[in-house]
Every structure is written in C-alpha cells, then in structure tokens.
Structure 1
Amino acid sequence: MKIKNETKVGILAALAITLLIIGYNFLKGNSIFTKETKLYATYPQVDGLTVSKPVLINGFQIGRVAALELQGDGSIKATLSIQSQYEIPKNSVARLESTDLLGGKAIMLTLGNDKNIAQDGDALQTNVQKGLMESMQPVQKKAELIIAKMDSILSSVNTILNPNFQKNIDKSFTSIASTLGSLEATSKKVDNLVGSESSKLSAILSNVEAITANFKNNGQKIDAILANINNVTDKFAALNFQQTVTNANKAVADLQTMINDIKGGKGTLGALLNDKQMYDNLNNASKNLDALMIDLKANPKRYVHFSVFGGGNKKDN
C-alpha cells in the first residue's frame, strides 16, 4: 500500500510537535514519563528563585521548582515536583540557598527523622539562608575601612615625597651622621684613655676587690660590732628615759608638797594667804601710806623746813 505524501507530512508534523513539547518540558525540567509528588513550600521572599530551579539533597537533584505563586500576605508559595521514587519525611526542611555569586537560588532539602512520609499536596517547613552577597557585607565594611586607611597612607606618602620634606629629611640624616661621627671620636678618646690608664684602673679594681674580700671575711665580726652598738644605744636610751621620768616624778611630788604647805598656812606665803588679819593690816597700811603721800604733796612745808640763808629760826606752822 502506497502512503500518500500528505500522510507522511502529517505524521512528520505530529512527530515534530511531540518532540518540541517533550524538548520544551525537558529543558524546563519537567518529567513527562515519570510520576512526581507535588510538595509545597512558602517563603517570605524568593530573590533569584525561578521556575525549573533544582531541588537538591546534599547536592543531588531529586526534583525541580514547578511553579511560584504570590499569596495574599505577600509571601511566595513554591510548588516542588519531587520524583516519586524518593521518600521525603514530613518534618524535612526546604531551605532556600544561594548557588552562585550572581544570586541564583535553589531549594536544599534537609531530611528529617519523621517516620511519616510526605504525601502529594503536603507543605514542608522552610528556611531562608543568607545569600553570598549578604554574607559578604561585613567583609565589604572591613574592605571599606582598609581602603580609607590606604588612602590615608597614600596621603602620608605624598607628604613625604614633597621636595621641602625631602630637604628636611636630608638635613636630619646629615645631622645624624655628624652626631655618629662625634660619638665615634668620643669612643676613640675613651678607648685611648682606658688604654693609657689601664694599669691604674687595674690597681683600683684590685684594691676594691681586696676591700670587698676583707668585708666578706670579717662579716661576722662586723655583725657582732653592730649588734653591740645597738645594745649599748638601746640601754643608753632606756637609761636616759628612765632618769628623765624619775626627775619629772620628783619635781611633780615637790610641787604638790609645796602647794599642800601653802594651803595649810605653812611658811610666809602660806601665812599671807591664810591670815585674814595680816591681810587687813597690810590693806590699812597701804591706805595710810596713800593718805600720807597725798598730804605730803599737798603740804610739803609741814614736813620739810629749809632756809635760803641758813641759821634762821624754825617756826612751826
């Protein structure tokens, strides 16, 4: 039976369309001839995650992202197509991770230990890991600080390369070289002095060594002498202190006896202080003497008689 050309063209067209559909789904990661389990995962954001991105376990692909759907609360619901031959525990975690520096994302499954297996339509726990660029932010800040310090260093280098600064540095090095030359000359003089006076220095050092040896050999005697001196000074100090205290006590006792005698009316001072009549007599005598002096000043002729020519008769007034 002869096949018509139109039939051949139709068959070829059908095969081409079929191959196109299969190839398109293959490129998208859709499996046509195998059964898949649909699981769901919800993320607050899915930067870099697109449809057909792989679902991996320890780097091994077991499925793909079949669809992404925006929810009413702003979250993103991802449909995960998992090959049916792989069993996923219900408490497994679908972690969204970066796969490259350009921000590409993939779903990394961390298998749980639940004995119950996730069925078609179940939702998995989710977790979003920071992207590589987000993780690099602290490094970026440090790099910015380093760049700022490098800029400061370069500014300092530019200052150093300034001609005037170079002249100052040259002067400084010249001064340092001159100072080193002076130090070298001084050290030579010291060497010459030590060389010329080495015999005297040796003798001095020998004497010092002999003196220290004598001190070392007579150390016990010196300790005994110092101990005796300490004992003598301690005794002398104690003796003087005791004598002083004794004299002070005796003086206080004598003073107390004198006060007691005065209070008892003994002696002239005691009689004067304790005899009321003597006090009155002295007071009256003082008053009479005061009256006599007043009258003497008022009437001196009453008490003194004199004549300019002498030998005159004295008359009583």
Structure 2
Amino acid sequence: MKTTNSQKVRLGLFVIIGTILFIAAVYLIGQRQDMFKKTFTINAFFQNVNGLQKGNNVRYSGIDIGTVKEISMINDSTIKIDMTIDEKIVSHIKKDAIATIGSDGLVGNMIVNIVPGKGEAAVITNGDTIASYNKIGADDILSTLSVSSENAAILTADLLKITNAMTEGKGTLGILLNDTIMAQELKESITNLKTASRGASHAIDELNVIITNLKTNDDTVLGMLINDSISGMKLKNIVLNLEASSTEIEQVLGSINAVVDDFSSSQGAYNYIVKDTSLVNSLKSTLKNVNEGTEKFNQNMEALKHNILTRGYFKKLERQEKKEGK
C-alpha cells in the first residue's frame, strides 16, 4: 500500500510536534531539577523534617533559590538535608544564615526557608553547613495543649474540692464564711483597733503640742529651764555655791576634828576640859549634829543631781568640767 503525500505530511507534523513537546518537557523538568543552571550544594542538620521530601523548594528571603537534593538519616536524632542552590545567589548567602523547615502556605508542601543572619560572616561556599532551627510542629503543639488541658482539669477539680470545703465550713476560710458570730467578733476587733489607733494618734498630737509649748513657753518651770539661759545660769551658780559650801563645811569639820585630837593629847587645862565628861558629851553631840547635817546636805545634793528638773543641768556641767579638764 503506497503512502500518500497527505499521510507523509501528517507523519511529519506528528514527529515535529512530538519532538517539540519532548524538548519542552525536558526543559521544564530540567528547570525543576536545576539541570541547566550552575549550582552548588549546602547542607543543614535537623532533628525533625516535618514531612519534607526530596525535590521540595528551598527559599531565601521568600525567593525560590533551589531544591532539596537529598535527605539522609545520620542517627536517631539527626537528619541531614542536602540542598542544591542557584550559583547566582552565592554572594547573598552568608555562613551565619539559618535554615528552617516550614510549609508553603497553610496546607502546601513543606519547604526549606533560609533566613539571613547578621551579615557579618563570610559568603558560603560549596559544601558548607549552615545552622538550623527546629520550629515547634503541630504534634508538639497538640501534645502541649493536651498536657495543659489535663492540668486545667486537675486544677478545676482541686478548686471544686476547696470550694466545697469552704461551703461546708471546713478550714479557716470556711469558718469565716459560715460562722456569723466569729465574723461579728472579727468586725468588732477591727473596730476596736481603729478606735485604739485614733486614740493613739490623738495622744501623739497632744504630746507634740506639749513639747511645742515647752519649747516656746517660758512661763512654766521646765520651759524656763529649757529656754531661759539666764535662769539656767543662775541655777548653775546656785549649785556651784552649794558645792563650795559643802567643801568648806568639810574643811571646818576637819579642823574641828584636829582640834579635838589636840585636846585629847594635850596636858593641863585643855586636857581637863577635854576629859570633862559633860563638856565632852556636849562637844560630841555638837559634832554628831554637824556630821549628820553634812551627810543630809550631801544626800540633798545627790538627790538634786538626779531630779528630772536639774539632772540635765548637772550632766551639762559635768561635760563642761571634763572639757576643761582636757
């Protein structure tokens, strides 16, 4: 059977169209697998690839720059991903870039996203390994939510137990909530505390008024002693005179004692006078009275030093005498 010209034309058109379609398919597949581009390989290590497959896209700052070349299991916790990257992107990717695994949209295929680093490192080279970051997957989120739900259920049950116990009047809070008598007593205690606080504040105010009056009022004895320097000086002179008188009395008593000793040891009329019992008794009585008077005077001086009105003055006088002694 001879072929006609029309059949030859049809056959030629079929071959031409088939060849064009074959070349287009090879080109598209080659573009997909980067067969017609100059590429280089980098890799990263992950603990979980989250469904990533060989041939999935690799993106850098949202731009497709390559594909996943190989996924290999290193050990039970480490997975190595080899990526084929377009050589034109080499100058833009630094060694401090970070690789993460994400999804292309909400329900799309898994892809590898390369996030730029700080830009201070050198440019990557063929075969380099970049750092990786494992994002929390949906399974981890669901597991966390499950644990949180269980904890919330346990917490709710415990709160229900506490609420029931409080409603039944158990524990301190339950007693306070249900015992009206204790609540009334607590209310009265708080009222009493408020009253005592107000009384204390009033007493402090009155004390401040008294202290202010003492500082500014010279009509009272204590105010005069505190504020009037002239009266203080007079009181100081009186105390000094009393001390001088006390010293002189002691000297007189010493002289009298010396004379008495001379009388006791002398001969003649003096001895006779001394040995006269009536005269001796009279002299002894006189000396006893003088000694008792001196002792009482000293006691009065000591009491005056400890009196609240003059104690400050004596302390001030003592400090002044210490300064003068130094």
Please state which band the TM-score falls in when normalised by the shorter chain: 0.3 to 0.5
**Structure whose CA Rg is larger:** 1
Query: TM-score normalized by structure 2?
Result: 0.42
Larger helix share, 1 or 2: 2
